[in-house]
Amino acid sequence: MKGIVFTEFLEMVEKEFGLEVLDQIINESNLASGGIYTSVGTYDFIEMQSLIVKLSEKTGLSVNDLLYAYGKTFFAVLEKNHANIFSLYSGPLEMLASIENHIHVEVRKLYPGAELPTFRIIQQDNHFLEMMYYSDRSMYMFAKALMEQTFAHYHENSRIELEMVQENGTQVRFRIYKEPHAVS
Ligand code: HEM
């Protein structure tokens, strides 16, 4: 997993839960890196898992809720660092349908060693996208947050349904609906 995912995560922990919780989760997680990450480095995903499980214990929030919250934060990083990618797409569904064959392909070139999920498109039209998510990291709530923020980026509304195909979250079916704007 890329260092930027760790550095941004730790920044979020400090901001939301304070320096003390940050120090505690780093000290109690038994990290091979010692908790020192550079944004361009590559580290074992096990370290992220330990940090997030510890944070869950400290805060009483579930790992999934924390991954979802982190996805919301991480999207802002993507928007800031990769604004050019967003300008290539006319809307959220076009962008989400291109993650597998374009966006993450470019990401692999920019971030050697990146561990990315696989998305497989099942069905697609102008208002709907059905995709399968596959990843050993089971970060489907992180994915859901990124999807919702993609809609927000294009000022569109979404409704996103998840179906656990594997109980451990390594295979999840997403049904993504573009919803009409509320009439005011
Ligand atoms: C992971 C880049 C858009 C889904 C990642 C990682 C990077 C990245 C660098 C971390 C890889 C690692 O730590 O080894 C980008 C860029 C994007 C983009 C530059 C667009 C500008 C999206 C969008 C989604 C998405 C829109 C929506 C579903 C994910 C997921 C992961 C991930 C779920 C976590 C890894 C996993 O589940 O196995 N992405 N991404 N990405 N990305 Fe993207």
Helix (H, G, I), strand (E, B) or coil at 22: helix
- C-beta 111 within 6 A of ligand 1: yes
Residue 169: what pLDDT?
98
Please give the structure tokens belonging to residue 174. Answer: 């997403």
Nearest ligand 1 atom to alpha carbon 106: 19
What is the ipTM for the molecules in this complex?
A: 0.94
pLDDT, tens only, 52-67: 999 999 999 999 999 9
Residue 24: what pLDDT? 98
Q: Pairing relation of β-strands 171-179 and 118-125? A: unpaired
What's the farthest any 2 CA atoms get from each other in the chain? 54
174 lines ligand 1 (CB under 6 A): no
Over residues 115-144, the mean pLDDT reads: 98
Assigned CATH for 77-179: 3.90.1520.10
* Average pLDDT, integer, range 79-103: 97
153 lines ligand 1 (CB under 6 A): no
Nearest to 30 by CA among 58, 50, 10, 4: 50
